[in-house]
Each structure stands twice: as structure tokens, then as C-alpha cells.
Amino acid sequence: MSENGRGQWQTRAGFIAAAAGSAIGLGNIWRFPFITGRYGGGAFVLVYILLLIFIGYPVMNSELLLGRKTQKNPVGAYKALAPGSPWIIVGFMGVLAGFVILSYYSVVAGWSLSYIFKSGAYMAAGSDAANIFVSSISSTFGGIFWHTLFMLLCIGIVYGGVENGIERWSKILMPVLLVLLLVLIVRSVTLPGAGEGLSFYLKPDFSAFSAEGFLAALGQVFFTLSLGMGCMITYGSYLKKDEDLPLDAKYVVSFDTIIALLAGFVIFPAVFAFGLEPAAGPGLTFITLPAVFSQMGAAGHIFGTIFFILLTVAALTSAISLLEVVAAYFIDEIKWNRKKATIGMGIAIWILGIFPSLGYSTLSNVKLIKGFDILDSFDFFANNILLPLGGMLIAIFIGWFWGTDKALEEANRGASTKLGASYSFLIKYVIPIAVFVVFLNSVGILG
Ligand code: TRP
């Protein structure tokens, strides 16, 4: 605890592990491949990497510095720096986004959790793993059961406080995930027919790319880095005043990017080798990976089981950061205690999550946005609307209201390589304009 009674990260490595733990999750291994597949492959990846550098990295710094400056949750942060102004709404939007994202995130994490126990089924099914996936998500009871179990884990950890368990776990398990991905890449790229997948993934074909793909890449940048809703404001609020913030941000962005790109090297060669559809949507990873495991002989059971344990843990370290934002708001601003905030909000989010979890069984006829199922629609709404909007408004806030000079002063305290004019330029001009233009296109897309 620091002098103001709020929690504080114990060590530098601990903070990086927690922030990277928030960033690295389903976004890298589940969402990145299926969005890349949906929007055409290589060209999408290229745009994604550019946006990571020119939008993701500066916004990451911005959120962390706002958090460290104010020592507050997103709503409290805007309230502290711009009292009595409508900026507080941006904070609320963030809390809302956290609520919506966690509701379906927990459903997908539940799929991962259930797959820890399914190696027998998918190993037997071989490249026909799609059937196993479809039957497992279309069980009304099963969907709710795994979603419930995952939310319970999440509530338990956030309730206990984030410092100990998560700091330590993340540091050990994330490197293991990395090694396992490397093993899987070797298996995947040596499958017969893998080459076509590699060229889909690596060769930019801009004729397959659209304005909507641009918006999706932007949404993915925010999602994968946990940006645009104040998650990194909240994590930054537990930082020491002399932490090297730009360097930490660089580590987090790099680790996150490496894991996502590696996941693509596992998924796409296998997608083509097994004659699957890269645009298959949210099921892509859960259909492709089991098919890869099934080609590994008896070892597939072990690799598969370990992999889904790690994916579930990665999802958990992300999910707790989502719940932490919502809880921190109720703790700081509404003066609830931690117990009431985590359990109360955890239950509310769990209830909302029942809808996406039933979207493949009881509610499978419900299509919301663009003909997507409930889960895909929640995902689209949060990532293509709320997060880019939140990210754009943070940039406008710092660039045009609070001031980049103050931001630089906060970010550069303790920095080995200081942020400077390029940060200010990106925050003031490039990010607001880029997001706005991409957004205008999205209006047409939504109609
Ligand atoms: N970044 C996480 C992932 O890739 C998900 C996540 C955690 C998130 N916290 C967030 C996304 C805040 C958006 C905002 O799985």
C-alpha cells in the first residue's frame, strides 16, 4: 500500500508482468487470427503493425501517465484533471466498455477452460475438430457452466487483490506460453499445404483489404493492448512515481505483438493445410488448434492440455484487469469496499454474459450487428466503437485540453529515453484525425 492507501505494484518486473498479462490474452491467440482471417490476411497484418507503433504505443503511454499522475480509476482521473467538465463521460464510457467486454470475454475464456478437458474428443476427431467445437458451444448448460466457472475464478482473484498472485503467476506462465507457441509453429508450418497459409498471412494483398478492415485493425490494436477504456489508467495508478514509463510501455507493446504474430504462424498454415476457412469467425482458433494437436500423435494430448491451461491463464490475467477497472470505479468513486465492488459487479457482468453464452444454442437466431451472433456483435460494438472512440478522446484530452507539455513532464520523470515532439505530434494531430476518418467510414458500415 502507498501512503494514500491504494495498492501499488511491488517491483518493476511485477508491473510489467501484470500489464503484459493484461495485454496478452484471448486478443492475441483467439481474436487476432480470426480478425486477420476475416479481413484478408497479410495487408491487415501490415496495417495492424503500423497502427500499433503510431497509435498503440503513444496511447499506452498516455493512459499510464494519466493513471500515475492522478492515482485514480478512469472516471476519477478525468474528474481530477478537468473538474466539472463533460470529460468524465469518457471515463464512464471506459467503465461501460469494461463491463461489455468482460461479459463475452468470459464466455470465450470458458471455451478455453472447457478445452482443457477435451483432448480425448478432439484427438479422436482429427481434422474434423469443427464438429467438436460446434457441439461444445451449442450446449445451453455447458456454455453457462464454463462461463460461470471462469467468472468465479476472476472474481476470486480480484477480490483477493492483484499484487501477489497475479504478479508471480504471470512471470512464470507467460514464458511457458511463448515456448509452447514456438513448438506449435514448428508443427504447423511443416504440415503439408502449410505454404499457402504462410503466404495468406505474410503477403499483403490490398485488394482483399477494405475501409472496414482498417477500423478492425484499429479496434484490434486497442483491444490487444488493453487500451481505450482506461484499463492502463487504472494499472498506471498503482505505479511508483519514478518508474521508467516509456520503457515499460515499449516492453508491453513488444511482448504483446510478439505473442500475437506467433499465434498467426500457428493458425494460418494449419488453416490452409486442413482446408479450413480463414474467415470462419470466433471459432477459428478453437477449430484449428485442436486439429494441429491431433497431428502430433500421443503428444497431442499433452500439448493440447497444457496449451489450453496456458490460454486460460492468459485470459484470466486479462479478465481480472477488466474487472479491476469496473471495481476500482465503484471503490474510488462510490465508496464501495473491495468485496462489495468485485462481487457485485462480477455478478452483474456474469448476468450480461449469459446472453452471448446462449448465442450458439437457445438464442442462436438472434443476430444483432451486421448479421453477427450476439457474442460477435458485443465484440464488434466494444472494439470497433467504444475503444477507438475512447482512445481518440484520450488523445484529444491530452493534446488539446490538459496539454502535452504536462503529459511529457509526467511521462519523462524517470525515463531513460524521453518522449518528445513525435509523441506530441501523434497525440495532437495524427491519432484524433486518423481515428475520426476511420470512424466516419464505420458509420456507413454500421448501416
Ligand atoms: N488485452 C486483452 C487481450 O488481448 C483483453 C483486455 C484486457 C482488454 N483488458 C482490456 C481489452 C481493456 C480492452 C480494454 O485479451
Question: Ligand 1 pocket check: which of 32, 34, 154, 223 to mutate, most ligand atoms within 8 Å of Cβ?
Answer: 223
> Quick one: pLDDT at residue 163?
62
Instruction: Say how far apart CA 272 and CA 195 lie, in whole Å.
Output: 8
* Residue 165 confidence (pLDDT): 60
What pLDDT score was predicted for residue 2? 45
- pLDDT range class, residue 166, cuts 50, 70, 90: low
Query: Distance between CA atoms of 103 and 319, rounded to whole angstroms?
Result: 10
Assign 298 a pLDDT band (cuts: 50, 70, 90). confident
10 Å CB burial of residue 275 (0-12, 13-18, 19+) is exposed
Nearest CA to ligand 1 atom 9: 226
Burial (CB count within 10 angstroms: exposed 0-12, middle 13-18, buried 19+), residue 161: middle
pLDDT at res. 6 = 65
Mutate to test the pocket of ligand 1, among 31, 36, 101, 381 (most ligand atoms within 8 A of CB): 101
Atom of ligand 1 minimally distant from the CA of 229: 14
Q: Whose CA is nearest to atom 4 of ligand 1?
A: 27
Reference 271, options 160, 182, 195, 183; nearest CA is: 195
Pocket around ligand 1 at a 6 A CB cut-off = 22-23, 25-28, 101, 223-224, 226, 229, 231, 318, 321-322
Q: Which atom of ligand 1 is nearest to the CA of 318?
A: 7
pTM: 0.93
